[in-house]
Amino acid sequence: MFHYFLIFFLILSFLLIHISKKYNLFVDFKLEKHKRFSTTLKSYSIGGVLLFTFFIYSFILNQKDYLLFFFLFSIFLLGLFSDLKKLNSVSLRFFLQIILVIFFISFLDLKINNTRVDQIDLILNNNISVNTIFTAFCILILINGGNFIDGLNGMILKYNLIIYLILFFGLSNHFVYLEKQFLQNLIIVLSILLILNLAGFLYMGDSGAYLLSLFTGIYLINFSSENFIISPYLIILLLWYPCFELLFSMIRRSVKMVKTYKADIYHLHQLIYNYFKLKFKIKNNLIIHFYSSFVINFYSLLIFLIAINYKYDSKFIIGSIIFNIIVYILTYQTLKKNYKSKNLS
């Protein structure tokens, strides 16, 4: 069955790319400053549309999980309206995200019950409202953090692909056959999207970033709930970069008395991009995007490969998270200082 879908997916991909270019559909003209920092060329944000077809195949045709599908659809639609410039207000988008996330996680009974801190677990397990708010907060951070790191070409696809490869190869004994099949299919689809993305044929857009981040969050929360023996901090480690990118940016902007939702060009991935551009005088933007996202994701891959060998050891994994945060902050401060000194000179 999946083989037929894969053929359909490939045909649809190239057909949608062709139609988008011919009729200027799903075009991002890079009107915002933070989108023009790396390139002024228009892009076609159809990655989310293509990824959504995979979820139609998986949750409507196969698993018939209609509630999960409509949750994914609602967030995808929110991102699609943003891509089409029909919903430009960041505040309104975030408000709608809050409503949708709280509504659906209540009906899906999506919960984070295990933190391995007895006092916190007691509250989460005995107070449904607190658990709902906490779970919604985590998902919202991930959705918007995923959208933040999508500023680099290939970044969000590579990062999520690494997560699923770690699950598939590193934790395969925790999955039944059907779950392995689903992971394998998802990895293939993400790989195809990544190739098309790196070639400059398509971009994920807000719809793709929201959709992929939301699904990854739901999937890992459910995985953690079904595998209590594995440290829940492994899940935090797998998702640390997009989440910390958002939290750090919010703190950074608050300190400077700037609106937390106001976009800028001082994210870590943007500083890494500028470092490669200024250091090596590379003119091809696609190459700089590739190198920049490769560095970040290669580092993440190494950390994840080490961590899965200590998947039951919460202390080690917490130490890894703290180490990552320190590396992030030191790298950020060094690159930002270097970037400002280059601009002044």
Every domain of the chain and the residues it spans? 42-344
Task: Note the pLDDT of residue 30.
Answer: 55
Task: Note the pLDDT of residue 25.
Answer: 84
**Residue 90 to residue 73: CA distance in whole angstroms:** 19
The one-character DSSP state at 111 is -
**Residue 313 to residue 302: CA distance in whole angstroms:** 17
Task: Note the pLDDT of residue 34.
Answer: 45
Determine which of 19-33, 194-208, 213-227, 262-276 has the lowest per-residue pLDDT on average.
19-33
Q: Chain-wide mean pLDDT for the chain?
A: 90
Task: Note the pLDDT of residue 199.
Answer: 85
pTM reported for the whole predicted model:
0.93
**Phi and psi of 27, rounded to 5°?**
-90, 135
Mean pLDDT of 275-289: 83
**Residue 197 to residue 293: CA distance in whole angstroms:** 12
**Residue 205 to residue 285: CA distance in whole angstroms:** 18
Q: Looking at per-residue confidence, does 34 or 151 come out higher? A: 151
Nearest-CA neighbor of 222 among 235, 209, 212, 210? 235
Amino acid at 292: S
Query: 338 pLDDT exceeds 70?
Result: yes
Helix then strand then coil, in percent of the chain rounded to 5, is 75, 0, 20
The one-character DSSP state at 152 is S
Determine which of 152-161, 212-221, 258-267 has the lowest per-residue pLDDT on average.
258-267
3-class state of residue 43 by DSSP: strand
Mean pLDDT of 120-147: 94
Tokens representing residue 66 in the block = 């209609």
3-class state of residue 27 by DSSP: strand
Amino acid at 291: Y
29 φ/ψ sector (left φ>0, alpha ψ -120 to 50, else beta) = alpha
For the chain, strand residue ranges (E) read 27-28, 43-44
